[in-house]
């Protein structure tokens, strides 16, 4: 008898390990610099956690894609088919909602789905996952999308495209689903079997169909974006403005709808030109109702996941290895409303080189400095009216108390010089 790995699973051999390590280190570095902390939930949970989160109409439940088993104690358990439900269960169990928002959590590890194996589709595969909880400002959406993009870049990828959509608020989704039921209901017999099932349970998912016949019908339909209410529209526009400001290339794609029932507003995917049909490296979206749905306090949230196998497949095609390093260095404090977007913009620029965090709402200097100290940063950078006028940040060295003004355009060289000085002192 010859044993073989189970269909849809594979071994990561010693020669391949550095490639895997490279991806996980890239994620740890990019996410760590943005203040995202790692959390490792168990590989299995009570099945109810996943069923409740995914919703009755999801493929996970409908197509029985979950690996569920009964243990000797008679408990019904499931190998995680995604990270989000387990991470949120832990977030609630450990009262992390009492921490200052946003709470940013990332995870890595195996995911299990009983899908039909094919290129880029396994039954056990690895994901890097990120969740940002507690704030609903579009600045968070833009940051979260950017973190996915930057992480994939740091893996060595070049031919990336970000696709951005919005599914609106629950009432917009409901209106759109009503529209789809009316339109597609009349042509139900022309749809594939899967799409007919989706039409019954969650019509929006018909847009995801890969079936050519379905696609033709879908092409004639209105898109979720045409159903957005004014607030959801403004939110979507603001997300785009931030991404444009930060130079993150994206395209609005009105056909992006995420597979699970809990998504609202922003939905996004990152694709790679070279990996064929399964070109989505990763994706995510906003899920403001989910924490509450799982029994917690009303908490906005947004997250993403990417598949490491697909990333490695893409890296093999255009990958360039990039080097790691870095610890937190600077915390930027917005002292008025205008400064919130300004510090975010500065932080995203500097994060190409340094670990930089910032506040998400207006703070007075005292509280702002306390935030900065709490983050463990070496420098705090204050930004208000006066600084704006002069095109500077007021920088405070949190170790020595020394304070000085640095022009925005000189921040990068100032910080680089400080790090350089450290190296020299250290080598004496
Ligand atoms: P999802 O949670 O379905 O949005 O998946 C997020 C990412 O995980 C996808 O973009 C893929 O990169 C990856 N992924 C999903 N399903 C599989 C699978 N069966 N095998 C390998 N990678 C997968």
Protein residue whose Cα sits closest to atom 18 of ligand 1: 121
* Position in ligand 1 atom list of the atom nearest CA 115: 19
Reported residue count of the chain is 428
Protein residue whose Cα sits closest to atom 19 of ligand 1: 121
Whether 319 has a pLDDT exceeding 70, the answer reads no
3-state SS string over 322-391?
CCCCCCEEEEEEECCHHHHHHHHHHHHHHCCCCEEEECCCCCCHHHHHHHHHHHCCCEEEEECHHHHHHC
Residue 246 CA to ligand 1 center (angstroms) comes to 27
Protein residue whose Cα sits closest to atom 13 of ligand 1: 307
Token code pair at residue 297: 């306090």
Average pLDDT over residues 27-51: 97
Whether 262 has a pLDDT exceeding 50, the answer reads yes
3-state SS string over 12-79?
CCHHHHHHHHHHHHHHHHHHHHCCCEECCCCCEEEHHHHHHHHCCCCHHHHCCCCEEEECCCCCEEEE
Whether 327 has a pLDDT exceeding 50, the answer reads no
Q: Please tell me the predicted confidence (pLDDT) of residue 323.
A: 40
Q: Please tell me the predicted confidence (pLDDT) of residue 139.
A: 98
Whether 219 has a pLDDT exceeding 50, the answer reads yes
Our mutation pick for probing the ligand 1 site, out of 125, 267, 268, 312, counting the most ligand atoms within 8 A of Cβ, is 125
Q: Please tell me the predicted confidence (pLDDT) of residue 422.
A: 74
Average pLDDT over residues 65-87: 96
The pLDDT tens digits for 140-182 are 999 999 999 999 999 999 889 999 999 999 899 889 989 989 9
Residue 401 CA to ligand 1 center (angstroms) comes to 48
Whether 400 has a pLDDT exceeding 70, the answer reads yes
Q: Which residues pair with 127 in a beta bridge?
A: 109, 307
The reported pTM is: 0.80
Our mutation pick for probing the ligand 1 site, out of 127, 165, 312, counting the most ligand atoms within 8 A of Cβ, is 127
Q: Please tell me the predicted confidence (pLDDT) of residue 30.
A: 97
With a Cβ cut-off of 6 Å, ligand 1 is lined by 82, 113, 115, 120-122, 125, 127, 259, 280-283, 305-307, 309-310
Average pLDDT over residues 310-316: 91
* Position in ligand 1 atom list of the atom nearest CA 310: 12
pLDDT class of 267 with cuts at 50, 70, 90: very high
Q: Please tell me the predicted confidence (pLDDT) of residue 61.
A: 76
pLDDT class of 326 with cuts at 50, 70, 90: very low
CB-based contact 380:331 (threshold 8 Å): yes
């Amino acid at each position: 008898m010859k044993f073989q790995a189970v269909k849809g699973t594979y071994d990561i051999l010693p020669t391949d390990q550095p490639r895997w390590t490279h991806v996980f280190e890239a994620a740890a570095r990019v996410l760590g610099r943005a203040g995202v902390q790692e959390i490792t939930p168990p590989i299995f949970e009570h099945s109810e956690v996943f069923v409740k989160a995914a919703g009755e109409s999801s493929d996970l439940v409908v197509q029985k894609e979950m690996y569920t088993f009964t243990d000797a104690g008679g408990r019904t358990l499931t190998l995680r088919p995604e990270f989000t439900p387990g991470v949120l269960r832990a977030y609630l169990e450990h009262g992390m909602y009492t921490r200052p928002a946003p709470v940013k959590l990332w995870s890595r590890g195996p995911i299990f789905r009983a899908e039909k194996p094919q290129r880029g589709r396994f039954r056990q595969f690895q994901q890097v996952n990120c969740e940002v909880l507690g704030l609903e400002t579009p600045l968070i959406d833009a940051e979260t999308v950017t973190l996915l993009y930057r992480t994939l870049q740091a893996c060595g990828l070049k031919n990336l495209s970000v696709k951005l959509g919005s599914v609106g608020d629950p009432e917009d989704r409901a209106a759109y689903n009503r529209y789809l039921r009316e339109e597609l209901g009349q042509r139900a017999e022309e749809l594939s079997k899967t799409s007919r099932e989706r039409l019954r349970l969650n019509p929006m998912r018909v847009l995801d169909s890969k079936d050519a016949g379905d696609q033709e019908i879908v092409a004639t339909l209105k898109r979720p974006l045409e159903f957005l209410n004014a607030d959801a529209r403004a939110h979507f526009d603001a997300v785009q403005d931030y991404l444009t400001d930060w130079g993150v290339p994206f395209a609005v794609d009105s056909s992006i709808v995420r597979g699970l029932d809990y998504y609202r507003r922003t939905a996004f995917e990152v694709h790679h030109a070279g990996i064929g049909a399964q070109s989505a490296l990763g994706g995510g979206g906003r899920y403001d109702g989910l924490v509450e749905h799982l029994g917690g306090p009303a908490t906005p949230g947004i997250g993403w996941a990417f598949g490491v196998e697909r990333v490695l497949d893409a890296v093999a095609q255009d990958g360039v290895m990039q080097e790691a390093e870095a610890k937190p260095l600077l915390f930027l404090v917005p002292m008025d409303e205008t400064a919130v977007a300004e510090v975010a913009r500065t932080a995203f620029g500097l994060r190409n080189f340094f670990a930089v965090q910032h506040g998400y709402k207006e703070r007075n200097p005292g509280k702002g400095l306390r935030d900065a100290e709490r983050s463990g940063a070496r420098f705090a950078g204050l930004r208000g009216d006066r600084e704006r006028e002069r095109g500077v940040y007021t920088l405070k060295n949190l170790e020595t108390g020394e304070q000085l003004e640095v022009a925005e355009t000189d921040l990068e060289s100032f910080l680089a010089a400080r790090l350089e000085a450290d190296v020299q002192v250290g080598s004496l």
